[in-house]
Chain A
Amino acid sequence: MIQLKNIEKVYRTTTIETVALNKVNLSVEKGEFVSIMGPSGCGKSTLLNIIGLLDEPSKGQVEIDGKQTNGLSDAQLASFRNQTLGFIFQSFHLINDLPVLDNVELPLLYRNVSSAERRRLASEALEKVGLSNRMKHYPNQLSGGQKQRVAIARAIVGQPEIILADEPTGNLDSNMGNEIMDILLTLNQRDNATIVMVTHDENMAKRTHRLIRLFDGSQVS
């Protein structure tokens, strides 16, 4: 499902060259739930951004769902993200000016989906995360756990094959964190979603199929 070959990412300024990722090779099968761990600054989020096509590797190849992504145009990459990938962020990144339902509809806004269909799909996604009673609320009226559930609903509303979660429980207490983890596991088991999750929490990582450790930009296990 996801193939990374010799991925390197180097940030360059006029004076400094920082290697964020060094020859990372990674293969994730369809339906797999993989977690990535490592100390701060080891390149976890960079790796996730590269998998999510939000950033380009300096070297190496990224293949998702059998398709080479190197050299794709902006429109092709956007379409790829929209159709194939779902994102969950540590800081939720909900749009505070939009009600929950509209936040969840967001990925569908960039597809040719009718308003009624968007509404239906977003309601279904919110039902899956147990927030159908909060559709008209605004993000600032929700708790952290609820916000993350909205973010999950937004990630799954377009039925992407891959969900990328960047420390989804990082801003939540352990109870809330477990709830979110349960939802992700359900999505993986019930819907066969491929999930790549960056986490700092060993306990959460243990609940996934496979753990990948990064250290100073290199894959150590």
Chain B
Amino acid sequence: MIKHLFKIIWKRRKSNSLMMTEIFFSFLILFAVCSLGVYNFQNYLTPAGLETNNVWVAFINFNTSSDTAKMEYKELVSQQLKRYREVESFSYTSANAPFTFSTMSNSFAYNKKKASSDVITVEPDFPKAMSMNITQGRWFTKADIAGNFVPVVITKHLAKELFETEDAVGKVFGGGEESAGSKKMKVVGMVDYYKHKSDFQELDNTLFRPSEKWDDTMVLKVRAGSGAEEEAKIVRELARLGKDWTIEIQQMDEMKSNRNNLVLVPVLILLIICGFLVFNVALGMFGVLFQTINRRKQEIGVRRAMGATKGAILWHFIGETAVIATFGLILGLFFAVQFPLLNVFDVEASVYLFGMLLAVIGIYILVGICAFYPSRQASVLQPAVVLHEE
């Protein structure tokens, strides 16, 4: 029967080519959307490595260019914060605190291996404020800062890139070419996960080093249930400490949600466009199939007369459409498979393979739905009627 279907499809290759082209393009669009979906979903499932619940980010502007004054002010703020029952822990950080829109990166080298990484300067209480787990070693302390090396904590991703399979803790390494001459860094601890851009972020390189004197951003872990009232009180009282200071507090949950939206909105737009295109393709396919079946009524009558059951007619037309779809898919897969082979966008091959699988399933479902109704209509045609139609 398959050979029989192939013969008919081959003979009608010109009229089938339109449907094949539609399926080819639909597959590519679905493949792109599915791969993007799989990529983001996979990242979403990866642990974040930090907690944003009941975490606030304070952006403080001391309005001074003097480092000494800034240090004093920072100490003043710290002392004040320690008085609040609501604040469980806090840490100054560089401006690129989690889920802010600032970035800071540098390149690092170890034994001729180079890696570029995000860098965030934090205080020893940062992991407490962010509920982070150290998987190897420990977080740096104030005592470490006075040592010969800059104590750093790195992510597992960076450790793998710099030290491959070697144990990262205890390794001493330097900055890239531009920071030659500066103090060497020593790894004191490692974290497995640190997703600081969004929930859909791929795990990447991050290096935590001790806070610098100019850091005026702050993360605060507050007691559960602390809300706008407590926030306003803290802002008001901190602002009283210095007359030109400006203080703004944001909830990290909301900041994360904003960053997540930056990923989700384009995906959603792409999904809507894809849905619209696929819907149009489905309508087109539906129309083409109806027309095809209308043109082949007498053939249906002959097949019924020769012994085909209604079911045989139904599956004949669904089968024909499935074979045409398979040709379109083979062509589409040829292009899609280039993505993992050429490592386009530096994404894991499994993402593309999953994308392909989902797109193939999607196309077959689409084809099945589009083919079912016209094929069913074909199967219930009365042979006695259609055989006498001109």
B307 within 8 A of partner (CB): yes
B4/A74 in contact, CB under 8 A: no
Instruction: Assess A74 versus B305: contact at CB under 8 Å? Given A49-B384, A54-B387, A115-B3.
Output: no
CA distance A89 to B387 in the complex (A): 9
Interface residues of B in 293-325 (CB under 8 A from A): 298-299, 301-312
B1 within 8 A of partner (CB): yes
Q: Which among B298, B299, B382, B387 has the greatest number of chain A C-beta atoms within 10 A? A: B387
A81/B305 in contact, CB under 8 A: yes
Residue of B nearest to A89 (CB): B387
B307/A107 in contact, CB under 8 A: yes
Instruction: List, in ascending order, chain A residues with CB within 8 A of B37's CB.
Output: none
Residue of B nearest to A95 (CB): B299
CA distance A196 to B305 in the complex (A): 16
Instruction: List, in ascending order, chain B residues with CB within 8 A of A78's CB.
Output: 304, 307-309, 312
Residue of A nearest to B11 (CB): A97
- Contact indicator per residue, chain B 188-200, by CB within 8 Å of chain A (1) or not (0): 0000000000000
Q: Which of B7, B8, B301 is in CB contact (< 8 Å) with A93?
A: B301
Residue of B nearest to A93 (CB): B302
A55/B306 in contact, CB under 8 A: no
Instruction: List, in ascending order, chain B residues with CB within 8 A of A106's CB.
Output: 302-303, 306
Q: Which of A89, A97, A110, A115 is in CB contact (< 8 Å) with B8?
A: A97
Interface size on A, residues (CB 8 A): 30
Distance in angstroms from A13 CB to nearest chain B CB is 14
- Contact indicator per residue, chain B 231-243, by CB within 8 Å of chain A (1) or not (0): 0000000000000
Instruction: List, in ascending order, chain B residues with CB within 8 A of A111's CB.
Output: 307
CA distance A45 to B309 in the complex (A): 22
CA distance A154 to B304 in the complex (A): 14
A98/B8 in contact, CB under 8 A: yes
B7/A81 in contact, CB under 8 A: no
Interface residues of A in 102-125 (CB under 8 A from B): 102, 106-107, 109-111, 115
CA distance A90 to B7 in the complex (A): 26
A75 within 8 A of partner (CB): yes
Q: Does more than half of chain B's interface fall in helix, strand or loop, or is it mixed?
A: helix
Instruction: List, in ascending order, chain A residues with CB within 8 A of B298's CB.
Output: 91, 93
Instruction: List, in ascending order, chain A residues with CB within 8 A of B306's CB.
Output: 81-82, 87, 106-107, 109-110, 154
Q: Which among B1, B11, B12 has the greatest number of chain A C-beta atoms within 10 A? A: B11
B302/A110 in contact, CB under 8 A: no
B124 within 8 A of partner (CB): no
Residue of A nearest to B9 (CB): A97
B312/A110 in contact, CB under 8 A: yes
Instruction: List, in ascending order, chain A residues with CB within 8 A of B387's CB.
Output: 54, 89, 93
Instruction: Assess A110 versus B307: contact at CB under 8 Å? Given A89-B387, A93-B301.
Output: yes
CA distance A97 to B4 in the complex (A): 10
Distance in angstroms from A174 CB to nearest chain B CB is 24
Residue of A nearest to B3 (CB): A115
CA distance A91 to B302 in the complex (A): 11
A145 within 8 A of partner (CB): no
- Contact indicator per residue, chain A 59-79, by CB within 8 Å of chain B (1) or not (0): 000000000000000110011
Distance in angstroms from A108 CB to nearest chain B CB is 9
Contact surface of A with B, Cβ cutoff 8 Å: 45-46, 49, 52, 54-55, 74-75, 78-79, 81-83, 87, 89, 91, 93, 95, 97-99, 102, 106-107, 109-111, 115, 154, 158
Name 4 extra pairs, CB < 8 A, besides A87-B302, A89-B302, A98-B11.
Answer: A54-B305, A81-B305, A81-B306, A154-B306
- The 22 listed contacts between A and B (C-beta, < 8 Å) are A46-B384, A52-B305, A54-B383, A74-B310, A79-B307, A81-B305, A83-B307, A93-B298, A97-B8, A97-B11, A97-B12, A98-B4, A99-B7, A102-B4, A102-B7, A106-B303, A107-B307, A110-B306, A110-B307, A110-B308, A110-B312, A154-B306
